[in-house]
Structure formats: C-alpha cells, structure tokens
Structure 1
Amino acid sequence: MSTTAYQFSESFARAMDAQDPLRNYRSNFHFPKIEGQEAIYFCGNSLGLQPKPTEAYIQRELQNWAEKAVDGHFYGEDAWYHIRKKSKPALAQIVGAHEHEVVAMNNLSTNLHLLMVSFYRPTAGKFKIITESGAFPSDMYMLETQVRFHGFEPDQAIIEIGPRPGEYTIRTEDIIEAIHSHQDQLALVMMAGLQYYTGQVFDMKAISQACQQVGVPVGFDLAHAAGNVPLQLHNWGVDFATWCSYKYLNSGPGNVSGVFVHERHAENPTLPRFAGWWGHDEAERFKMEKGFKPMFGADGWQLANSNVLALAAHQASLDIFQEVGMTKLRKKSELLTGYLEFLIREISGTSGVLEIITPTNVHERGCQLSLLIHKGGKAVFDEFYKNGVVGDWRNPNVIRLAPTPLYNNFLDVYLFAKILEQSLQKFA
C-alpha cells in the first residue's frame, strides 16, 4: 500500500483491521491497563506482551516437577534433558538458519562474551573491532572489557562508525569502506543488526560479504531484530549472532537468549571456547570424564543445563511465531509502521516540531519509529502516558514507538495519532 492510500480516519483504521489476516492473534495477549483502560502498547521493542498461553506452559512444567521431580529430566513427553530442542525449529525460521546452528541458552550479554571468546582472537598486529557508534550500553561495555582482557585499550582497538554530519543513520558504504581500509589490523566486526536508538536495520548481508572478502569474522547483536525483521543468517554467511527473547519474541522479562553459530564452525577443533558440561558430547555427558568434546553446532557452546521454566515461557511465544510465520508478520509490519509514519507526518506537517530519524525505506527499518521532538520533549511523552499510550523515552529527546504486528492493530495507530495531535497542541 502506498502512503497516498492511507487515510487519517477511524473508519479507515477499522477497515484495515477488518481485512487483516492476523487480527485474531491480538486476543492471544494480555494488555496492561492505565487508569482502568487497556493501554495502547507501543513498547514491544523493550518488553513484549505476555501471551495468554504462557501461564499454562509454565504450569505444565511445574506439574512435571511436582509429579516427577528429578525423573522429569528423562521421562515424559518433554523430558528436560532434551528440552532445548523444542525451540530450535521456530528459532531457525526466525533467524534464517539450520536447526543445528541455533540454541536457546543464557542471556544476551553472557552469550556475547562467550562468543567473543571464540571469534575475537586478536594479535599484536590484528586486534581492532568495528562496531556502530552509539551502540547499546551492554555492547559497549562488553567490547571495552573484552579488548582490555586481551591487553588493548578501547580507544585504540574499537573503531566506531557513525552517521555523517547532519545525518542520523549510518550509510552501508561507510561501514564497508571501514572494513576494507582497516583490514590489515581488523580482528572482528561486531555490531547491532538493528540500531536500538534510531531503529535502523543494517545491511547484514553486505556487511557479512565484505567481512568474508577480507577474512574477518562478523557477528551481530540481534536484540531488536529477532522476531522483527527478516533474517537469513546462514545464507548471509554470518559467523555468529545472539539475541534476547523478551522484546519482539514475547518470552518474559529477562528471559533466555539464543545464539547462532554458522555450521562451518560446527566441528572446528581449533576454535577456542569456554566449555561447560551441557556443551559436551551428549552421548558421553554422564560418563563424567575429563576431556571436553563439544557437541555439533551451536549446542557445543552451552554451559549449564537448561532453565526449564524459562524455556516454557519462551515456547509459548515461539509456537505462535511458528504458526504465523515471519513472512506474514513482516507484511503487516510494513503496513502498520507505514500507517504510523503517514499519520505522524500528517500531524506534524511543516511545523518542524517532530522529526522521524528512522529510515523511510522499509528495507532499512523494522516496526520501530524513533521521533526526535524539537519542542515539548518529555512533557509530550508524559502526556502520551496519561492518555493511555505506552512508548519509550530516550534522552535527550527521542520517543521510540513500536507498533508490533502480532498484537497491535491499525486502530491503535489511529488512536495514538489523535493523542499525539492533542499532546502537541498542549505542549509544543
């Protein structure tokens, strides 16, 4: 649908919802309330809503624990010893991978450190890392401490690629040029797949190809990309990636992360890693002997046994994703985010009060739009909340809004636009 076909009217929004093939999935989620009214929830980029089946999924494992105790590891339909395998089909579809290339484990920051052990192997001559400027703090701290662990200083080892003057997003050609110009000293490219602040989706395929040309490993933090935008990690040749499951994957606050390791590394004996017994050869695990033998694929990076209750909550959402599929989600997401963009531009006009810093090109964004507010600032955001809108404020003056296709609809977007209009009239 082109922007010329969008309309700033409630009847249009309701008509779009009536023909939405995913409209019934909204009823699968719990919505928070503000002043007793169901909120307009545009904060799935920070914490996804709870799927209604989640309680039953967790209760089933609590019952298994109550009835079987330690025998739950080995008996029953979903014996805990193999419970990680249940999430693999959905995760593989979501990130574009083979099932043996993905596994749910730990949390995102832990996984980034573990993967850096394997893929950041600096030498005196090749020790630099390329990342995006303004990366999420966890990534910045992780990179800083990793390079210091190897005896280097962050300001010498970390190359941050930022937007050009007067721009908000990073050009792909600038990233690729940096890869080629620093190749003699470059040990790794590790960056977000989707920039949390601006909402820009990076061209992971082009970046990966550039890394392959110069023989440098590449990894991505997909915290804001997994479950949001189409991914083809295997085909793109990405070496490794990790993500959280509590944003677009709706698995609960702080819940389990996932990792991807390309199959070309599946049985590489020279690749170092920090080992744990759950990554050891499954057939020999209970021999309890010395000598680590990693499992094939991403499973070989596991440390400890699976968090069963966390995986149960994770599975409640993944089953919905597998039923819907990323293709349908993406199609709706483009329409929904496009409608939000249209309405914001209709309201702001030529006033200059609002500026969308997220790319207009649908291939360079997911369902998040970041709004730069030049007048009114936090007061406008607070007015949103008073009127039932849950978004996300980022200093100094950016509001992030994420109409999530699994549970948001066009009426949500229209109602938000009316609140935005009122808030700007009051404070801007």
Structure 2
Amino acid sequence: METENQFTLSNYQSGLEYAKQQDALDELSSYRNQFHIPKDKYGNELIYLCGNSLGLQPKTTKAYINQELEDWANLGVEGHTDAKNPWLPYHEFLAESTAKLVGAKPIEVVTMNSLTANLHFMMASFYKPTKSRYKIVIESDAFPSDKYAVESQLRHHGYDDKEGLILWTPRKGEELLRYEDLETILEQQGEQIALVMIGGVNYYTGQFFDFKRITKLGHKHGCMVGFDCAHGAGNVDLDLHNSGADFAVWCTYKYLNSGPGSLSGCFVHERHAYDKTLNRFTGWWSHNKETRFNMRHEFDVLPGAEGWQLSNPPILSMAAIKASLDMFNKVGIKKLNKKSKKLTGYFEFLLKQLGEDTIKIITPENPDERGCQLSIQVLNADKSLHNKLTEAGVISDWREPDVIRCAPVPLYNSFEDVYQMVEKMKKILN
C-alpha cells in the first residue's frame, strides 16, 4: 500500500540539503510562486503554516475580481447577461470543478451562503425529529459553531439541547475518537437518533473520519448523516458521492484560498435531487430558472443542490472562488494528496527528532486518517511558545488548552518551510 511504503518515517532524512532536494524533485513546487506569501517588516517571507484557518491569496485572484468590477462599471445591470462571465448563471461555472474536488456529481453541489448558515439549511431538510426520534450525535470536541448550531436546532424544535445532544467522546487519556464507541452509541440509542452530524476532519486533532463507515452505520439505524467538511475540502479526498452521506457543507476560505469570510459549499446526495417533498427554506434562486423572473409563478423547486439556494449570489466572492478552483482543477486532488502525505510525513519525522518526551503529535499517525494538519502538544508549554514562534516568523495557530496547529499546505508550502519551522522551534525550546 502506497501510504505504508512511501511515507514511512524511515524514508526521510535530516538536514537542509535533503529539504532542498525534495523541493527540487516536487512536481507541484512551481505553484508556490502563484501565491502571495506574507512577509515580515524586513521583506523576508514568513513560514505560513496556517492554511487550515485562512488560505493564502492566489496571484490570479485580483484579475478575476477586477474582471467583474470592470463589467459592473461598463455594463451596470446588463452584466447579469452580458459580462464576460455572465452573473446570472455564475454559480454554475463553479459546479464542475467543485464536484471534482469533493468527489461528487455537478448536480450534487452548489456554492452559496456561509458555512453555519448552510448547516442550518441542511438541517431544515435532513433533521426531521419526531417524538421518539429526535437526538443528534456530534463529536464531543466538534468545532464550536457546529455544536451551537445543533443545540439551537434542538431548542428550535422544542427539545432540551443537553438531553437531545449525544457526544461521541474519546476514551479517557486519549485524544482520537474510536468507531467502536460510535457503534455502541448507535446500538444503544439508535432508535432515538435522528441525525449523525460529524466534522469530517476534526479541527482540533486533525483526525480524518471514514465517511463511508459512519454513513453506513448511521443509515443502518435509520439516521440521516451529514458532515462539516470545513477542514476537509481541498485538503483530503472526500469522495462524497460514494460515501453515501445525505449532505455535507464546507467553507472555501481555508484550503480553498478564496478569501476571508468567503462563500460556503454544499453537497446534497443525488438520491435527494428530485425529492420535492423534502422540507426546506426557499427563495427565488431555488426556483425554476425558466420562470424565475416571471414573478407571478408558484414556487417550482430546482432539482439537485441548486434547489437549496435562496438569493442571487455575491459575484465578487464567487470570482475569488473561481480563481482558486481553476488552479485546483489543473492540479487535481490526487496529486495534492500525494504531496500532502509526503510533506506532512516529513514534518512528523522532524518533529519526532525533538524527542517524544518534549513533543506529542495528537493527529493520527496513519496518513490515510489525516490531512496536512499536525496538532502538536509541547510538554509544559503555554501560549508563550506560540507567541515566540510567531516572533520568529512562523505563522501557525494556537488552540486552548495546549495545541499548536500547523498545516503545511501542498499547493504553496515547501519542504524547506517545514525544515525551517522545526529548526526555529528547536532553538526556542533550547
């Protein structure tokens, strides 16, 4: 198996020359030059390992947005039909690339709204509580917005948000979740559970879950199954269609490099595409395109994920997404994953040389169970260590109580980035 042979730690070497050699051999190395790399006040490039929070800006983004600004300036309202990329169907220009990236069919994806808003829209359709089946399962350390969202859904439907929320929790002394424990939850309470909603890649530990296994388990017990792929889209091979999940949502500003607060992506499985009976919130952009502008027609929902839209989309945000997706389309998720596993494996190799009495990586060791992020615990460290790393020119991410999250992103991070980061950490610790 590729991950066992190619990415074992014994295949890596120490020293700067090795890192430079790997960069020279890397077929994706030229993509780094297609991004703006932040610099310090002296003009030196920072080591940016924070793509799990906000991806860097592709150099093409400005031109994509400027095109729409020019068309708006020159055409006004006529830009909806006469712009170089007409605004009326603009979201359709993103569908094929998005589908490829997340392993879906174009009819199953749409770009709209923001992440937690989309999660609520999905739950309006796929969380269908009854008197006897109303509980929701999430990870105990889910991203806070997910927890707040599902708690509010429980309250909205008249249930107690503590009693109705079931937490899939790690065992004592462990950080990672075990599938056997989820199986136990569903065996014991499956008849009371309406929805299983898991963060596809956990934001804190970086654990990448087996979507197919979780979906099969949830469906076996009569539950709907959805995933928040905020830390998965553009990072791992999600294979959403084959997973069988009912729905998924993700943001585009992390690994998809579309800019702060940019739009969210949404997946609805093909088997729901033509089900007009599904309860949903609606607006004019989910209405039949042929009669959308004839304002007197009764609502006629579009098939597929498009049928969950509400409003006409913000074109400037979509232009930034298009700039990024066009790049992803050229590279492909398979090549990105191959480099990601090698780059993150190298990072793990270097960190472990600091000594396991000093460093603990809580992210799974198996490359198939993680993306590019490594979550690092340093013995007796507090946020001052993270602050010192920042002062040394390393942009990473601190999460309470004691984790530094670092994500060497394969599109723009190099082996030398990873080498230099560990060298700086070594100096700080010494």
**TM-score over 0.5 for the pair:** yes
Identity %, equivalent residues: 49
Contact 1:376/1:424 (<8 A) preserved: no
Following superposition of structure 1 onto structure 2, how do residues 165-314 of structure 1 map, counting pairs within 5 Å? 165-314=172-321
Is 1:391 the equivalent of 2:382?
A: no
State the Cα deviation string for residues 333-377 of structure 1 (Å, max 9, x = none). 000000000000001x14x22211000011110000001122232
Q: How big is each residue's C-alpha offset from its partner over 1:57-102, in whole Å with a ceiling of 9 and x where there is no partner?
A: 0000000101111011112441101000111111101111000100
Q: Which moved more, 1:75-84 or 1:337-346?
A: 75-84
Structure 1 distance, partners of 2:144, 2:322, is 28
1:27 matched to 2:33? The reply is: yes
* Residue aligned with 1:294, SS: coil
SS in 2 for 1:199: coil
- What do the CA deviations read for 1:268-298 (whole angstroms, capped 9, x no partner)? 1221000000000111101112522110100
Conserved in 1, the CA contact under 8 Å of 2:236 and 2:371? yes
Q: Is the 8 A contact 2:358 2:379 kept in 1?
A: yes
When normalised by structure 2's length, the TM-score is 0.97
Residue of structure 2 equivalent to 1:365: 370
**Corresponding residue to 2:90 among 51, 75, 83:** 83
- 1:172/1:203 contact within 8 Å kept: no
1:172-202 deviations in whole A, cap 9, x for unaligned? 2212332232211110111100000000011
* Aligned amino acid, residue 406 of structure 2: L
The one-letter code of the counterpart of 1:50 is: Q
Cα deviation, 1:204-250, whole Å, max 9, x if unaligned, reads 11001112222211000000000000111111111001000000000
SS in 2 for 1:286: coil
Deviation at residue 28 of structure 1 after TM alignment = 0.4
Name the aligned partner's letter for residue 401 of structure 1.
Answer: C
Taking the aligned partners of 1:221 and 1:155, their CA distance within structure 2 comes to 21
Q: State the AA in 2 paired with 1:92.
A: A
Partner of 2:3: none
Q: Which residue of 2 aligns with 1:119?
A: 126
* Secondary structure of 1:219 counterpart: strand
Per the alignment, in what secondary structure is the counterpart of residue 300 of structure 1? helix
Partner of 1:10: 16
What is the CA distance between 1:395 and its match in structure 2? 0.9
Q: Structure 1 CA distance, aligned partners of 2:197 and 2:291?
A: 34
In structure 2, list runs of 5 or more residues that go unmatched: 1-5
Specify the code of the residue in structure 2 equivalent to 1:120. Y
Asked whether the equivalents of residues 130 and 179 of structure 1 are also in contact (C-alpha less than 8 Å), the reply is no
Q: Letter of the aligned partner of 1:208 in structure 2?
A: T
Name the CA distance, whole Å, in 2 between partners of 1:234 and 1:270.
22
The Cα shift of 1:396 comes to 1.2
Note if contact 1:190-1:218 (Cα within 8 Å) is conserved in structure 2: yes
CA distance in 2, matches of 1:259, 1:179: 26
* More displaced 10-residue stretch of structure 1: 285-294 or 303-312: 285-294
Q: Is it true that 1:164 corresponds to 2:171 in the alignment?
A: yes
Aligned residues: 423
Question: Mean Cα displacement is larger for which, 34-43 or 392-401?
Answer: 34-43
Q: Distance in 2 between matches of 1:411 and 1:179?
A: 46
CA contact (8 A) 1:172 1:202 kept: no
1:410 aligns with 2:420: no
Opposite residue 303 of structure 2, the aligned amino acid is: F
Mapped pair 1:422 → 2:423 = no
| RMSD over equivalenced CA pairs, Å | 1.0
AA aligned to 2:410 is P
- Compared CA separation, residues 376 and 211, structure 1 to 2 (3 A): closer
- 1:117 alignment partner, SS class: helix
User: How far has the Cα of 1:146 moved from its partner?
Assistant: 0.5
What amino acid is aligned across from residue 402 of structure 1 in structure 2? Answer: A
**Residues 146-184 of structure 1: CA deviation (Å, up to 9, x unaligned):** 100000011111100110111100012212332232211
Is the 2:252–2:263 contact (alpha carbons within 8 Å) kept by the matching residues of 1? yes
Look up the match of 2:48: 41
Q: Secondary structure at the match of 1:295?
A: coil
Query: In structure 1, how many angstroms separate the alpha carbons of the residues matched to 2:381 and 2:218?
Result: 43
| Partners of 2:35 and 2:56 within 8 A in 1 | yes
Quote the Cα distance in structure 1 between the aligned partners of 2:278 and 2:186.
23
Which residue of the partner structure matches residue 69 of structure 1? Answer: 76
Q: 1:263 and 1:396 mapped to 2: Cα distance? A: 41
Q: Within 2, Cα distance between the matches of 1:201 and 1:241?
A: 14
Between the aligned partners of 2:202 and 2:55, the Cα distance in structure 1 is: 18
Letter in 1 for 2:17: S
CA contact (8 A) 1:356 1:369 kept: yes
Check whether the contact 1:227–1:248 (CA below 8 A) recurs between aligned residues. yes
* Off by >3 Å, runs of 4+ in structure 1: none
- The residue matched to 1:260 in structure 2 has which SS? strand
Q: Secondary structure at the match of 2:191?
A: coil
The residue number in structure 2 matching 1:353 is: 358
Report the Cα distance in structure 1 between the residues aligned to 2:251 and 2:13, rounded to whole angstroms: 36
Q: Given residue 371 of structure 2, which amino acid in structure 1 is its aligned partner? A: G
Aligned partner letter, 2:50: C
Structure 1 residue 381 displacement after superposition: 1.2
Deviations 1:281-320 (A, max 9, x none): 1111011125221101000000000110000011111000
Aligned twin of 1:96: 103
